[in-house]
C-alpha cells in the first residue's frame, strides 16, 4: 500500500515538473522573440525634414555635411566567407539588413529561415549582412559555416572575428537586427528573434 502511495506521489511530482518545465520554456521562448521594431530617432527626424522645402534641405546638406556623415550607421570591418575584409559601408549602395547572431543561440537560429526567405525574395535589391559573432572559442568560423551549410541557407555570411562589430554596436545580447536605408542611415532596430511579419515590416521601411 505504501509503495502504491509512493508511486502515485512520484507520478504527480513528475507531472508537475513536466508542466512547470513547459511553462518556463514557453515564457523564455517568448522573452527572446519580438514583434516590435524600434524606429530610430534619425528616421523620425527625416520624416519631419521631408516636409520642408527642397531648397532648405539642400542648404542644410551643404552646411552640415559633417553632421550628415555622423548620422550614418556606425562602420566596422568584418570578413566574408573567403576571409577577405569588408566594411559595412561597402554595402550602402542598397538598403541593408544587418543581423548579429551565433550558432549556439537558439533564438538566432529560429529566425534564420525568415532571413533565407527574405533573401530569396529581395536579395537583388537589399544587402543582407548576416554577421556571426565569432569569438574563436564558443563560436568559430567552422561552427558557423557548418550550421549554415547544413541548413541549406544561401544568404552571404560574414564574421566578426575581432569583435569590432559587437563593440561598435554595443551588442550584448543576440539576435539583434538593424534596418538601414540605402543612404546608410539607420531606420529601425529589432532586439530578439524576428518572426516573418516583423521582418517584412522592417524590409518595407527601407525599400
DSSP H helices in the chain: 2-31, 41-49, 54-63, 65-71, 106-122, 141-151, 164-168, 196-206
With residue 186 as reference, give the H or E element that holds it: strand 186-191
Q: What is the pLDDT of residues 88-108, one digit of tens each?
A: 999 999 999 999 999 999 999
Q: What is the pTM of this model?
A: 0.74
* pLDDT tens digit sequence for 45-67: 555 454 454 444 444 444 444 44
Task: Check residue 34 and give its pLDDT.
Answer: 59
C-alpha cell at 184: 546608410
Helix or strand holding residue 125 (H, E): none
- State in words which class domain 35-206 has: alpha beta
Radius of gyration of the chain (CA): 22
Contact 43, 183 (CB under 8 A): no
Amino acid at each position: 500500500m505504501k509503495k502504491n502511495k509512493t508511486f502515485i506521489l512520484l507520478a504527480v511530482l513528475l507531472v508537475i515538473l513536466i508542466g512547470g518545465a513547459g511553462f518556463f520554456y514557453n515564457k523564455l521562448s517568448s522573452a527572446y522573440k519580438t514583434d516590435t521594431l524600434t524606429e530610430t530617432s534619425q528616421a523620425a527626424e527625416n520624416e519631419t525634414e521631408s516636409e520642408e522645402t527642397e531648397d532648405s534641405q539642400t542648404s542644410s546638406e551643404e552646411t552640415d555635411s559633417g553632421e550628415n556623415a555622423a548620422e550614418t550607421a556606425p562602420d566596422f570591418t568584418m570578413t566574408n566567407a573567403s576571409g577577405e575584409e569588408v566594411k559595412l559601408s561597402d554595402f550602402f549602395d542598397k538598403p541593408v539588413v544587418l543581423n548579429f547572431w551565433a550558432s549556439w543561440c537558439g533564438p538566432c537560429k529560429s529566425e534564420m529561415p525568415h532571413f533565407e526567405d527574405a533573401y530569396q525574395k529581395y536579395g537583388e535589391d537589399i544587402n543582407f549582412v548576416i554577421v556571426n559573432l565569432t569569438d574563436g572559442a564558443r563560436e568559430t568560423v567552422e561552427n558557423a559555416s557548418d550550421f549554415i551549410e547544413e541548413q541549406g541557407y544561401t544568404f552571404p555570411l560574414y564574421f566578426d572575428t575581432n569583435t569590432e562589430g559587437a563593440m561598435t554596436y554595443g551588442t550584448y545580447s543576440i539576435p539583434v537586427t538593424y534596418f538601414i536605408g540605402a543612404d546608410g542611415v539607420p531606420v529601425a532596430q529589432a532586439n530578439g528573434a524576428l518572426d516573418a511579419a516583423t521582418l517584412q515590416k522592417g524590409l518595407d521601411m527601407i525599400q
